[in-house]
Structure 1
Amino acid sequence: MFAISLGDDGAELRPLEPWHAEEFLAHIERGREFIGRHVSLPDAVKDLPAARSLLQAYADKRAADQGYLYGIWLEGRLVGGLMFRIFDTAMGNCEAGCWLEPAAAGRGLVTRGARIIIDWAVDERGMHRVEWIAPAANEPSLKVARRLGMTRDGVLRESYPYRGVRSDMEVWSVLAPEWREARARAGR
Protein backbone atom coordinates (compact mmCIF):
# COMPACT_ATOMS: atom_id res chain seq x y z
CA MET A 1 0.00 0.00 0.00
CA PHE A 2 1.27 3.48 -0.74
CA ALA A 3 1.87 6.28 1.71
CA ILE A 4 2.76 9.78 0.54
CA SER A 5 4.65 12.04 2.91
CA LEU A 6 2.99 15.37 3.60
CA GLY A 7 6.17 16.92 4.98
CA ASP A 8 8.74 16.69 7.73
CA ASP A 9 6.18 16.41 10.55
CA GLY A 10 5.51 12.69 10.12
CA ALA A 11 2.22 13.23 8.28
CA GLU A 12 1.20 10.83 5.52
CA LEU A 13 -1.63 10.45 3.05
CA ARG A 14 -2.82 6.89 2.47
CA PRO A 15 -5.90 5.18 1.04
CA LEU A 16 -8.55 4.71 3.73
CA GLU A 17 -9.96 1.22 3.26
CA PRO A 18 -12.49 -1.14 4.88
CA TRP A 19 -9.81 -2.90 6.91
CA HIS A 20 -9.17 0.44 8.69
CA ALA A 21 -12.70 0.37 10.18
CA GLU A 22 -11.66 0.06 13.84
CA GLU A 23 -9.03 2.79 13.52
CA PHE A 24 -11.48 4.95 11.58
CA LEU A 25 -14.16 4.57 14.26
CA ALA A 26 -11.66 5.44 17.02
CA HIS A 27 -10.65 8.54 15.05
CA ILE A 28 -14.28 9.61 14.58
CA GLU A 29 -14.91 9.10 18.31
CA ARG A 30 -11.96 11.38 19.17
CA GLY A 31 -13.29 14.11 16.89
CA ARG A 32 -17.03 13.40 16.84
CA GLU A 33 -18.19 16.79 18.15
CA PHE A 34 -15.53 18.85 16.35
CA ILE A 35 -15.94 17.10 12.98
CA GLY A 36 -19.73 17.05 13.31
CA ARG A 37 -20.02 20.83 13.54
CA HIS A 38 -20.02 21.02 9.73
CA VAL A 39 -19.64 17.48 8.36
CA SER A 40 -22.18 14.65 8.60
CA LEU A 41 -19.52 11.93 8.77
CA PRO A 42 -19.92 11.37 12.55
CA ASP A 43 -23.68 10.98 12.13
CA ALA A 44 -23.09 8.16 9.64
CA VAL A 45 -20.33 6.45 11.66
CA LYS A 46 -21.94 5.51 14.97
CA ASP A 47 -20.45 2.04 15.43
CA LEU A 48 -18.05 -0.46 13.87
CA PRO A 49 -20.50 -1.89 11.30
CA ALA A 50 -21.36 1.65 10.15
CA ALA A 51 -17.66 2.55 9.91
CA ARG A 52 -16.99 -0.58 7.88
CA SER A 53 -20.01 0.11 5.66
CA LEU A 54 -18.93 3.68 4.87
CA LEU A 55 -15.39 2.57 4.06
CA GLN A 56 -16.74 -0.25 1.89
CA ALA A 57 -19.02 2.18 0.05
CA TYR A 58 -15.95 4.25 -0.84
CA ALA A 59 -14.00 1.13 -1.82
CA ASP A 60 -16.88 0.33 -4.18
CA LYS A 61 -16.85 3.91 -5.51
CA ARG A 62 -13.09 3.63 -6.07
CA ALA A 63 -13.56 0.33 -7.92
CA ALA A 64 -16.15 2.04 -10.14
CA ASP A 65 -13.86 5.10 -10.53
CA GLN A 66 -16.53 7.34 -9.00
CA GLY A 67 -15.02 8.41 -5.68
CA TYR A 68 -11.92 8.10 -3.53
CA LEU A 69 -11.18 8.22 0.20
CA TYR A 70 -7.79 8.97 1.77
CA GLY A 71 -6.72 9.10 5.38
CA ILE A 72 -4.29 11.55 6.88
CA TRP A 73 -2.01 9.94 9.43
CA LEU A 74 0.16 12.00 11.78
CA GLU A 75 2.97 10.09 13.47
CA GLY A 76 1.16 6.82 12.73
CA ARG A 77 -2.27 7.92 14.00
CA LEU A 78 -5.30 8.53 11.77
CA VAL A 79 -6.29 12.19 12.34
CA GLY A 80 -8.39 13.12 9.31
CA GLY A 81 -9.03 12.57 5.68
CA LEU A 82 -9.64 13.80 2.19
CA MET A 83 -12.03 12.53 -0.40
CA PHE A 84 -13.31 12.87 -3.86
CA ARG A 85 -16.99 12.64 -2.99
CA ILE A 86 -17.84 12.89 -6.68
CA PHE A 87 -15.46 11.81 -9.45
CA ASP A 88 -16.99 12.05 -12.91
CA THR A 89 -14.38 11.22 -15.54
CA ALA A 90 -16.85 11.53 -18.43
CA MET A 91 -17.58 15.16 -17.53
CA GLY A 92 -14.08 15.90 -16.19
CA ASN A 93 -15.49 17.18 -12.88
CA CYS A 94 -14.88 16.13 -9.31
CA GLU A 95 -15.62 17.39 -5.81
CA ALA A 96 -12.97 17.24 -3.09
CA GLY A 97 -13.71 17.38 0.62
CA CYS A 98 -12.03 16.95 3.98
CA TRP A 99 -12.33 16.52 7.74
CA LEU A 100 -9.94 16.59 10.71
CA GLU A 101 -10.06 15.83 14.39
CA PRO A 102 -9.17 18.78 16.67
CA ALA A 103 -5.62 17.67 17.49
CA ALA A 104 -4.67 17.88 13.80
CA ALA A 105 -6.28 21.23 12.99
CA GLY A 106 -4.15 24.23 12.08
CA ARG A 107 -1.14 22.28 10.79
CA GLY A 108 -1.78 22.63 7.06
CA LEU A 109 -2.38 18.89 6.66
CA VAL A 110 -5.55 19.28 4.56
CA THR A 111 -3.99 21.86 2.25
CA ARG A 112 -0.88 19.73 1.70
CA GLY A 113 -2.92 16.59 1.11
CA ALA A 114 -5.43 18.34 -1.14
CA ARG A 115 -2.61 19.55 -3.38
CA ILE A 116 -1.50 15.96 -3.86
CA ILE A 117 -4.92 14.58 -4.73
CA ILE A 118 -5.75 17.53 -6.99
CA ASP A 119 -2.42 17.12 -8.80
CA TRP A 120 -3.36 13.48 -9.37
CA ALA A 121 -6.90 14.29 -10.51
CA VAL A 122 -5.73 16.96 -12.96
CA ASP A 123 -2.49 15.40 -14.23
CA GLU A 124 -3.20 11.68 -14.15
CA ARG A 125 -6.96 11.52 -14.57
CA GLY A 126 -7.57 14.52 -16.79
CA MET A 127 -10.06 16.29 -14.54
CA HIS A 128 -10.88 19.76 -15.81
CA ARG A 129 -12.78 21.13 -12.80
CA VAL A 130 -12.22 20.42 -9.12
CA GLU A 131 -14.89 21.71 -6.76
CA TRP A 132 -14.76 22.39 -3.03
CA ILE A 133 -18.18 22.82 -1.39
CA ALA A 134 -18.46 23.78 2.27
CA PRO A 135 -20.92 25.40 4.65
CA ALA A 136 -20.46 29.17 4.74
CA ALA A 137 -19.90 28.86 8.51
CA ASN A 138 -17.00 26.42 8.05
CA GLU A 139 -14.28 29.05 7.84
CA PRO A 140 -11.35 26.58 8.16
CA SER A 141 -12.57 24.69 5.08
CA LEU A 142 -13.09 27.91 3.14
CA LYS A 143 -9.55 28.98 4.05
CA VAL A 144 -8.29 25.74 2.51
CA ALA A 145 -10.11 26.57 -0.73
CA ARG A 146 -8.46 30.00 -0.72
CA ARG A 147 -4.99 28.55 -0.01
CA LEU A 148 -5.49 26.13 -2.89
CA GLY A 149 -6.08 29.11 -5.17
CA MET A 150 -9.70 28.24 -5.89
CA THR A 151 -12.26 30.78 -7.06
CA ARG A 152 -15.50 31.31 -5.16
CA ASP A 153 -18.20 30.50 -7.70
CA GLY A 154 -21.10 31.41 -5.47
CA VAL A 155 -23.36 30.53 -2.58
CA LEU A 156 -26.18 28.02 -2.62
CA ARG A 157 -28.48 29.73 -0.13
CA GLU A 158 -29.92 27.51 2.58
CA SER A 159 -29.31 24.46 0.41
CA TYR A 160 -27.93 22.11 3.07
CA PRO A 161 -30.29 20.88 5.78
CA TYR A 162 -28.08 19.63 8.61
CA ARG A 163 -29.20 18.80 12.11
CA GLY A 164 -32.39 20.81 11.77
CA VAL A 165 -30.79 23.95 10.32
CA ARG A 166 -30.55 24.97 6.67
CA SER A 167 -27.05 26.24 5.87
CA ASP A 168 -25.66 28.24 2.98
CA MET A 169 -23.09 26.28 1.00
CA GLU A 170 -20.18 28.00 -0.72
CA VAL A 171 -19.00 26.55 -4.01
CA TRP A 172 -15.33 27.03 -4.87
CA SER A 173 -13.48 25.59 -7.86
CA VAL A 174 -10.25 25.48 -9.76
CA LEU A 175 -9.90 24.63 -13.44
CA ALA A 176 -7.04 22.48 -14.71
CA PRO A 177 -5.27 25.31 -16.61
CA GLU A 178 -5.48 27.55 -13.52
CA TRP A 179 -4.16 24.76 -11.30
CA ARG A 180 -1.20 24.07 -13.57
CA GLU A 181 -0.37 27.76 -13.92
CA ALA A 182 -0.48 28.36 -10.15
CA ARG A 183 1.64 25.28 -9.54
CA ALA A 184 4.24 26.47 -12.06
CA ARG A 185 4.34 29.93 -10.44
CA ALA A 186 4.85 28.31 -7.02
CA GLY A 187 7.59 26.03 -8.37
CA ARG A 188 5.84 22.85 -7.29
Structure 2
Amino acid sequence: MFAAPLTDDVELRPLNPWHAEEFLANLDRSREHISPWVSPSFVAADLDAARHVLQRYADRWARDDGGIWGIWSGGTLVGGVLLVSLSTASGVCEAGCWLEPTAVGRGLVTRAVERVIDWAFVERGLHRVEWRTNAGNVRSIAVARRLGMRRDGVLREVLPGPQGRVDLEIWSVLAPEWRARRAGVPS
Protein backbone atom coordinates (compact mmCIF):
# COMPACT_ATOMS: atom_id res chain seq x y z
CA MET A 1 0.00 0.00 0.00
CA PHE A 2 1.15 3.51 -0.82
CA ALA A 3 1.54 5.94 2.08
CA ALA A 4 3.65 9.10 2.22
CA PRO A 5 4.54 10.53 5.62
CA LEU A 6 3.73 14.22 6.10
CA THR A 7 4.79 14.39 9.77
CA ASP A 8 5.65 11.81 12.45
CA ASP A 9 1.98 10.93 12.95
CA VAL A 10 0.34 12.10 9.70
CA GLU A 11 0.35 10.37 6.33
CA LEU A 12 -1.05 10.87 2.87
CA ARG A 13 -2.55 7.86 1.13
CA PRO A 14 -5.14 7.05 -1.54
CA LEU A 15 -8.77 7.57 -0.59
CA ASN A 16 -10.89 4.81 -2.11
CA PRO A 17 -14.62 4.02 -2.27
CA TRP A 18 -14.21 1.48 0.53
CA HIS A 19 -13.24 4.43 2.79
CA ALA A 20 -16.76 5.88 2.42
CA GLU A 21 -17.66 5.55 6.12
CA GLU A 22 -14.45 7.29 7.20
CA PHE A 23 -14.92 9.92 4.51
CA LEU A 24 -18.50 10.62 5.61
CA ALA A 25 -17.39 10.90 9.27
CA ASN A 26 -14.68 13.37 8.17
CA LEU A 27 -17.22 15.37 6.15
CA ASP A 28 -19.59 15.41 9.14
CA ARG A 29 -16.80 16.91 11.27
CA SER A 30 -15.85 19.31 8.45
CA ARG A 31 -19.18 20.21 6.88
CA GLU A 32 -19.71 23.66 8.37
CA HIS A 33 -16.02 24.54 7.99
CA ILE A 34 -15.65 23.56 4.30
CA SER A 35 -19.14 24.12 2.87
CA PRO A 36 -18.54 27.77 1.92
CA TRP A 37 -15.46 26.80 -0.08
CA VAL A 38 -16.05 23.48 -1.84
CA SER A 39 -18.57 22.27 -4.39
CA PRO A 40 -21.85 21.12 -2.84
CA SER A 41 -21.52 17.88 -4.82
CA PHE A 42 -18.37 17.07 -2.81
CA VAL A 43 -19.92 17.48 0.66
CA ALA A 44 -21.84 14.19 0.80
CA ALA A 45 -24.68 14.01 3.33
CA ASP A 46 -25.05 10.21 3.58
CA LEU A 47 -23.08 7.01 3.04
CA ASP A 48 -24.32 6.42 -0.53
CA ALA A 49 -23.38 9.96 -1.53
CA ALA A 50 -19.95 9.61 0.14
CA ARG A 51 -19.34 6.37 -1.73
CA HIS A 52 -20.45 8.09 -4.96
CA VAL A 53 -17.96 10.96 -4.49
CA LEU A 54 -15.10 8.54 -3.86
CA GLN A 55 -16.16 6.34 -6.77
CA ARG A 56 -16.23 9.37 -9.03
CA TYR A 57 -12.57 10.03 -8.15
CA ALA A 58 -11.65 6.34 -8.45
CA ASP A 59 -13.15 6.44 -11.95
CA ARG A 60 -11.19 9.60 -12.72
CA TRP A 61 -8.00 7.88 -11.54
CA ALA A 62 -8.77 4.91 -13.81
CA ARG A 63 -9.33 7.29 -16.75
CA ASP A 64 -6.13 9.18 -15.86
CA ASP A 65 -7.93 12.49 -15.38
CA GLY A 66 -7.98 13.08 -11.62
CA GLY A 67 -7.49 11.53 -8.20
CA ILE A 68 -8.03 11.86 -4.45
CA TRP A 69 -5.83 11.21 -1.41
CA GLY A 70 -6.67 11.33 2.27
CA ILE A 71 -4.70 12.91 5.09
CA TRP A 72 -4.71 10.62 8.13
CA SER A 73 -3.59 12.00 11.49
CA GLY A 74 -3.08 9.39 14.18
CA GLY A 75 -5.11 6.95 12.07
CA THR A 76 -8.09 9.32 11.61
CA LEU A 77 -9.02 10.84 8.26
CA VAL A 78 -8.85 14.62 8.80
CA GLY A 79 -8.95 15.89 5.21
CA GLY A 80 -7.37 15.40 1.86
CA VAL A 81 -6.12 16.67 -1.44
CA LEU A 82 -7.38 15.99 -4.92
CA LEU A 83 -6.73 16.52 -8.55
CA VAL A 84 -10.05 17.94 -9.66
CA SER A 85 -8.88 17.53 -13.24
CA LEU A 86 -5.81 16.25 -15.07
CA SER A 87 -5.07 16.44 -18.78
CA THR A 88 -1.91 14.84 -20.10
CA ALA A 89 -2.79 16.24 -23.55
CA SER A 90 -2.63 19.85 -22.34
CA GLY A 91 -0.17 19.16 -19.50
CA VAL A 92 -2.46 20.86 -16.97
CA CYS A 93 -4.13 19.74 -13.76
CA GLU A 94 -6.10 21.44 -11.01
CA ALA A 95 -5.38 20.65 -7.36
CA GLY A 96 -7.74 21.18 -4.44
CA CYS A 97 -8.08 20.33 -0.75
CA TRP A 98 -10.29 20.12 2.32
CA LEU A 99 -9.45 19.86 6.01
CA GLU A 100 -11.44 19.56 9.20
CA PRO A 101 -11.05 22.35 11.79
CA THR A 102 -9.04 20.25 14.30
CA ALA A 103 -6.26 19.78 11.71
CA VAL A 104 -6.00 23.39 10.53
CA GLY A 105 -2.80 25.35 11.14
CA ARG A 106 -0.34 22.43 11.05
CA GLY A 107 0.82 22.80 7.43
CA LEU A 108 -0.74 19.48 6.44
CA VAL A 109 -2.44 20.70 3.28
CA THR A 110 0.70 22.47 2.09
CA ARG A 111 2.80 19.32 2.62
CA ALA A 112 0.18 17.10 0.98
CA VAL A 113 -0.25 19.34 -2.06
CA GLU A 114 3.54 19.50 -2.43
CA ARG A 115 3.53 15.70 -2.80
CA VAL A 116 0.79 15.82 -5.40
CA ILE A 117 2.52 18.62 -7.35
CA ASP A 118 5.81 16.67 -7.28
CA TRP A 119 3.95 13.64 -8.65
CA ALA A 120 2.24 15.71 -11.37
CA PHE A 121 5.48 17.25 -12.59
CA VAL A 122 7.97 14.42 -12.02
CA GLU A 123 5.92 11.27 -12.63
CA ARG A 124 3.34 12.57 -15.09
CA GLY A 125 5.40 15.21 -16.87
CA LEU A 126 2.69 17.86 -16.62
CA HIS A 127 3.56 21.51 -17.20
CA ARG A 128 1.09 23.46 -15.07
CA VAL A 129 -0.75 22.92 -11.78
CA GLU A 130 -3.68 25.23 -11.11
CA TRP A 131 -5.29 26.19 -7.81
CA ARG A 132 -8.78 27.69 -8.09
CA THR A 133 -10.30 29.24 -5.01
CA ASN A 134 -13.09 31.49 -3.86
CA ALA A 135 -11.55 34.97 -3.60
CA GLY A 136 -12.70 35.14 0.03
CA ASN A 137 -10.93 31.93 1.07
CA VAL A 138 -7.86 33.45 2.75
CA ARG A 139 -6.56 30.07 3.99
CA SER A 140 -6.63 28.59 0.50
CA ILE A 141 -4.90 31.65 -0.95
CA ALA A 142 -2.24 31.35 1.76
CA VAL A 143 -1.61 27.73 0.71
CA ALA A 144 -1.17 28.84 -2.92
CA ARG A 145 1.36 31.46 -1.80
CA ARG A 146 3.26 28.97 0.40
CA LEU A 147 3.47 26.64 -2.60
CA GLY A 148 5.09 29.39 -4.66
CA MET A 149 2.11 29.77 -6.97
CA ARG A 150 1.39 32.99 -8.81
CA ARG A 151 -2.00 34.60 -9.05
CA ASP A 152 -3.04 34.46 -12.70
CA GLY A 153 -6.22 36.43 -12.30
CA VAL A 154 -9.80 36.57 -11.11
CA LEU A 155 -12.95 35.29 -12.75
CA ARG A 156 -15.43 37.87 -11.52
CA GLU A 157 -18.78 36.66 -10.15
CA VAL A 158 -18.36 33.27 -11.84
CA LEU A 159 -19.98 31.12 -9.12
CA PRO A 160 -23.31 31.39 -7.32
CA GLY A 161 -22.98 31.74 -3.56
CA PRO A 162 -25.32 32.02 -0.58
CA GLN A 163 -24.85 35.82 -0.42
CA GLY A 164 -24.68 36.41 -4.18
CA ARG A 165 -22.16 35.68 -6.91
CA VAL A 166 -18.57 34.82 -5.99
CA ASP A 167 -15.24 35.75 -7.56
CA LEU A 168 -12.85 32.87 -8.28
CA GLU A 169 -9.08 33.38 -8.10
CA ILE A 170 -6.83 31.31 -10.35
CA TRP A 171 -3.31 30.54 -9.09
CA SER A 172 -0.71 28.36 -10.79
CA VAL A 173 2.81 27.03 -10.75
CA LEU A 174 4.71 25.85 -13.81
CA ALA A 175 7.04 22.86 -13.88
CA PRO A 176 10.24 24.93 -14.41
CA GLU A 177 9.28 27.24 -11.52
CA TRP A 178 8.56 24.24 -9.28
CA ARG A 179 11.85 22.53 -10.11
CA ALA A 180 13.78 25.75 -9.46
CA ARG A 181 11.97 26.28 -6.17
CA ARG A 182 12.64 22.70 -5.06
CA ALA A 183 16.32 23.14 -5.99
CA GLY A 184 16.46 26.31 -3.87
CA VAL A 185 16.96 28.67 -6.79
CA PRO A 186 15.53 32.13 -5.97
CA SER A 187 12.73 33.31 -8.25
Q: TM-score range by the shorter chain?
A: over 0.9
Does residue 105 of the first structure (1) align with residue 117 of the second (2)?
Answer: no
Equivalent residues of 1:32, 1:42 under 8 A apart: no
* Secondary structure at 2:7 match in 1: coil
Q: Which residue of 1 aligns with 2:76?
A: 77
* Secondary structure at 1:46 match in 2: coil
Q: Which residue of 1 aligns with 2:12?
A: 13
Equivalent residues of 1:28, 1:42 under 8 A apart: no
Q: Which residue of 2 aligns with 1:3?
A: 3
* Secondary structure at 1:119 match in 2: helix
Query: How far apart are residue 165 of structure 1 and its match?
Result: 2.5
Equivalent residues of 2:42, 2:53 under 8 A apart: no
Q: Which residue of 2 aligns with 1:51?
A: 50
Percent identity for Structure 1 against Structure 2: 59
**Could you tell me how far apart the structure 1 residues matched to 2:133 and 2:164 are?**
15
Report the aligned-residue RMSD: 1.3
Query: How far apart are residue 44 of structure 1 and its match?
Result: 4.0
5+ residue gaps, structure 1, are none
Task: Return closer, same or farther for 1:104/1:44 CA change in 2, 3 Å cut-off.
Answer: closer
TM-score, scaled relative to structure 2: 0.96
Task: Return closer, same or farther for 1:103/1:168 CA change in 2, 3 Å cut-off.
Answer: same
**Could you tell me how far apart the structure 1 residues matched to 2:147 and 2:40 are?**
23
Runs (4+) of structure 1 exceeding 3 A deviation are 41-44
* Secondary structure at 1:160 match in 2: strand
> Which deviations, in whole Å up to 9, do the C-alpha atoms of 1:47-89 show, x marking residues without a partner?
0000001100100000000001010011110000100001001
Equivalent AA in structure 2 for residue 73 of structure 1: W
* Secondary structure at 2:110 match in 1: helix
Query: How far apart are residue 125 of structure 1 and its match?
Result: 0.1
Query: How far apart are residue 38 of structure 1 and its match?
Result: 1.2
**Could you tell me how far apart the structure 2 residues matched to 1:38 and 1:127 are?**
26
Q: Which residue of 2 aligns with 1:135?
A: 134
**Could you tell me how far apart the structure 2 residues matched to 1:43 and 1:180 are?**
32
Task: Return closer, same or farther for 1:93/1:159 CA change in 2, 3 Å cut-off.
Answer: same
Length, aligned pairs only:
185
> Which deviations, in whole Å up to 9, do the C-alpha atoms of 1:96-140 show, x marking residues without a partner?
000101001111000000111100100010010000000011000
Equivalent AA in structure 2 for residue 62 of structure 1: W
Task: Return closer, same or farther for 1:100/1:42 CA change in 2, 3 Å cut-off.
Answer: farther
* Secondary structure at 1:185 match in 2: coil
**Could you tell me how far apart the structure 2 residues matched to 1:144 and 1:96 are?**
11
* Secondary structure at 1:107 match in 2: coil
Q: Which residue of 2 aligns with 1:68?
A: 67
Equivalent residues of 1:35, 1:42 under 8 A apart: no
1:36-47 to 2 correspondences below 5 Å = 36-41=35-40, 44-47=43-46
**Could you tell me how far apart the structure 2 residues matched to 1:67 and 1:162 are?**
25
